[in-house]
A and B are shown apart, each in its own frame.
Chain A
């Protein structure tokens, strides 16, 4: 619980500091920190043996991420002044805001790109808030909420609040879901052009 507050406030502090100082980091600083984090988690996970069971778990979690996201956002799309496919395209970042929003902004519209950006940033925030409690209730569910970020940003958090096996599951899931992001975004954008 305490860690969740610290993590969330580190985002908010960053936001406020960025707003006031307009300080823009060089492009590769965030990426560099991310790589160090992923390297550390990789080192930490190296002592774990990969079992066959993991593949079944990974497939089930991927299914719940993709199925759950599209099912619920499709229901939501009936109540939003956006096209159904637009809502689905915005949701198919699965938390990977930098990729989905850039694809949508450049090949469809900057407006939907920004919505996609926030939808995915907020999904990541959601996962940060949910992770400490959620992992106790359902490991699959929490990893699903994290979506594509379960292999990078959320991996550290999930590793902290669970065991190595769950962290490995989280990485495997994030890996596959990350590869699905450009596929789904492009699919929905293409469908929109043809309908």
Chain B
């Protein structure tokens, strides 16, 4: 599964060097397929009886693990990003940055 995902991604990545890809951003095709994927995800869980039997405790423990895992990840990521950005700003000559920090350019779309 993981390998197929990789192969498909790199196939697209290299094919895109030779063909036009502007339509993907223009018509929000990625968003459309994401919606479709999430729908099938819900459909799969909903149709599975096994998962709905011991739902209460499983859901509670699952929720807590998910929340704590997410919170820890976000906090650490936030700290690392700030730390990383500060080290970027050190590359200044008399207060003028010699390299523009890329994510400060703003979004491309």
Contacts and interface: CB of A to CB of B under 8 A. Distances in A.
A175 interface: yes
A45 B11 CA distance: 11
Interface residues of A, number: 105
Contacts of A35: 4-5, 8
Contacts of B35: 6-7, 10
| Interface range, B side | 35 or more
B96 interface: no
A170 to B, nearest CB: 12
A37 B41 contact: no
Contacts of B65: 73, 76, 87, 90-91, 115, 119, 123
**Which residue, B34, B80, B109, has most C-beta atoms of chain A within 10 A?**
B34
A17 B44 CA distance: 10
Given A40-B24, A162-B107, A175-B6, A140 B81 contact: yes
Interface of A: 3, 6-7, 10-25, 29-31, 33-47, 53, 56-57, 60-61, 63-65, 67-73, 75-76, 80, 82, 87, 90-91, 94, 98-99, 111, 114-123, 125-128, 130, 134, 137-145, 147, 151-153, 156-157, 159-160, 162-166, 171, 175, 178-179
